[in-house]
Amino acid sequence: MAQAFLAVVRRDLRIAFRRLSDLASPLMFFAIVITLFPLAISPEPAVLREIGPGVLWVAALLATLLALNTLFRSDFDDGSLEQLALSAHPLPLLVFGKILAHWLISGVPLVLLSPLLALSYDLSSNALQVLTLALLIGTPTLSLLGSVGAALTAGVRQAGGLLALLVLPLMLPVLVFGARATTLAAAEQEPAGPLYLLAALAALAVTLGPFATAAAVRVSLE
């Protein structure tokens, strides 16, 4: 089973690096949204520090949604998704491999890029560290939650709006706790509470997310 899991991860990573435009689009969107807000609202450092955490997390959530559109679509179109469902290996394990690959190509670059972009909001070094940690915990959760909606809409053309309606309610707690942790750190307060809640959501998503996504894949294939 471990070999099958790693094979799925390697396959999706190879496919992703052959489609660099799909790989770069969410990151470009993330960077553009973050850099436009200071220009549109105010260059005052106090204002930027106040709005920064919320802007950064909303941009991260929307960039994740943009990347989710391609998670199962190509596999559904070429029949690979059906082959995964018919495999002798557990479908939740194989689906988890696809979600992990998706996070590695979309979530990890976003986590690495966010501290650099957050400098434009005059956040302190402590706030940047908490932001990075919160995104490192929260982005896998966003991928796991979003994969359920991506699987349900795999066979639907132009399903971006439908996908957002399905998964945004599930993602809102991650957005709230992540932004709150960064805001507390920017105000020189203790951010441990929201970070613990983010970690609890991540543990719950890792435990239940692959099974829910596997069930959604079977529904789409039917």
> What is the pLDDT, as a whole number, of residue 158?
64
Q: Give me the percent of the chain exceeding a pLDDT of 90.
A: 26
- Per residue in 111-159, pLDDT (tens digit) is 999 988 888 888 888 989 999 999 999 999 999 998 888 888 876 766 6
pLDDT of res. 27 = 87
- Does residue 212 contact residue 150 with C-beta atoms inside 8 Å? no
61-92 pLDDT per residue, tens:
988 888 887 787 777 777 777 787 787 788 88
Give residue 205's pLDDT band: very low, low, confident or very high (50, 70, 90). very high
- Alpha carbons 110 and 148: distance in angstroms, whole number: 21
Compute the 3-state secondary structure of the chain and give helix, strand, coil in percent, each to the nearest 5. Answer: 85, 0, 15
Whole-number pLDDT of residue 157: 67
Mean pLDDT, all residues of the chain: 86
Query: Domain extents for the chain?
Result: 2-221
Q: What is the pLDDT of residue 44?
A: 83
pLDDT for the residue 159 = 60
What's the pLDDT score for residue 23? 75
Decide if pLDDT at 43 tops 80. no
The mean pLDDT value for 46-72 works out to: 86
Q: Which pLDDT score, from 0 to 100, does residue 160 have?
A: 62
- Please check whether residue 175 is in contact with residue 55, taking contact to mean a CB–CB distance below 8 angstroms: no
Q: What is the pLDDT of residue 138?
A: 93
Please give the pLDDT value at position 133.
Answer: 94
